[in-house]
Amino acid sequence: MPALLNIQQSLVKANLASFVKLVVPCNADAYESSLPSQGTFRPELTQIMTQLVSFLSANGSPFVVNIYPFLSLYDDKDFPQDYAFFEGTTHAVTDGQNIYYNAFDGNFDTLVAALNRIGYGQMPIVIGEVGWPTDGALGANLTAARAFNQGLINRILSNKGTPLRPGVPPMDIYLFSLLDEGSKSIVPGNFERHWGIFSFDGQAKYRLNLGLGNGLLRNAKNVQYLPSRWCIADPTRDLLDVTNHIKLACGVADCTTLEYGGSCNGIGAKANISYAFNSYYQLQKQDSQSCDFDGFGLVTFLDPSIGDCRFLVGISDTSSSNVGPRSSWFAVWVMVLWVVRFLRICDA
């Protein structure tokens, strides 16, 4: 709060307070309840959240919250999978006269109830982050990500709102994220590097209609790739002593798809080594020395991809400043914003 007040005072002095609105994005674990209508901020946070919400209200700012049904599914093995999506569920939650058919609505209304409990039930709400990863964990895949994100978009465009705010969907929705983040911390899970709706080369991972006219995602054009060649483990060599080389490769490149639940987890030990080698090789722009690995590496012109496990080819510097599929240039925290509908609560 002291930092927030200092920034606000600076905006006032610069005559920008009416144009720039300060927000503090909160995770959905700031509030809790077994039923949405009983939502409340966690006891140890109630005082600071009340101060924050009072500040936001006084200055015309919305409450920004990040809601991730995927994390509920990931953290709780007993969480009903179909309740995380929007296509209907056999695990609906009955809360008095209200029935919740998806976790997003239930989570949102838990926040509404928590705000109402401290006297700010009409506070405008913005979804600062919401999305579904495409790799790195069980349940994180292209099919699930498309089902969730398309269901979310359709749900918002319906203008139905939620049981506690009928006809009033969130002011804005920020879909997380535009691109994968190959250098992001994986402490929460390997999926953290795979939230993008576009792959590293600007190609849409799956069909997604944003509902704004011809709102389909559009692929980047005229992408210049490096030559179609890959680095693999030499099939004629005994690979018992490659541990340090794998650590080197995966210490620089992203190998999270090889872990449990990843799209490349089941391709076999030798293919795992090849995937690690190739990821490093492409990141080094196919420099010939980067596929040596003390003689364990071998350059091939045959695509070694196996099923859903793709061995990537990097991007050429002739068309992009990016050096490969896991370039730090792409390791950015990016959110793509579409304004599905702007609703002024006071006019609702």
Token readout for 155 is 């749900």
Q: How many domains does the chain have?
A: 2
In order of 141, 218, 271, the CA distances from 297 in angstroms are 30, 36, 12
CATH number at 159 reads 3.20.20.80
The distance from CA 245 to its chain's CA centroid, rounded to whole angstroms, is 30
Q: Which amino acid is at 51?
A: Q
Other beta carbons within 10 angstroms of residue 285's beta carbon come to: 15
Task: Say if residue 151 is in the same domain as residue 239.
Answer: no
Per-residue pLDDT, 239: 86
Task: Say if residue 45 is in the same domain as residue 186.
Answer: yes
Is 317 domain-assigned? no
Query: What CA–CA distance (Å, rounded) separates 335 from 276?
Result: 28
Task: Say if residue 248 is in the same domain as residue 289.
Answer: yes
Token readout for 3 is 């930092």
Rounded (10°) angle between helices 269-283 and 243-252: 40
Is 15 domain-assigned? yes
Task: Say if residue 23 is in the same domain as residue 170.
Answer: yes
Per-residue pLDDT, 317: 77
Per-residue pLDDT of the chain (348 residues; tens, 9 = 90+): 999 999 999 999 999 999 999 999 999 999 999 999 999 999 999 999 999 999 999 999 999 999 999 999 999 999 999 999 998 889 999 999 999 999 999 999 999 999 999 999 999 999 999 999 999 999 999 999 999 999 999 998 899 999 999 999 999 999 999 999 999 999 999 999 999 999 999 999 999 999 877 789 999 999 999 999 999 999 999 988 999 999 999 999 999 999 999 999 999 999 999 999 999 999 999 999 999 999 999 999 999 999 999 999 999 976 444 434 433 333 222 333 333 333 333 333
Q: 12 lies in which domain range?
A: 1-198
Claim: this prediction has a pTM higher than 0.85: yes
| CA geometry: angle 333, 177, 304, nearest 5 deg | 100
**CB burial string 64-95: b at 16+ within 10 A, e below:** bbbbbbbbbbbeeeeeeeebbbbeebeeebeb
Task: Say if residue 3 is in the same domain as residue 44.
Answer: yes
Inter-residue contact 109 to 37 (CB < 8 Å)? yes
Is 203 domain-assigned? no
Closest residue by Cα to residue 222 from 290, 320, 343 = 320
Task: Say if residue 157 is in the same domain as residue 247.
Answer: no
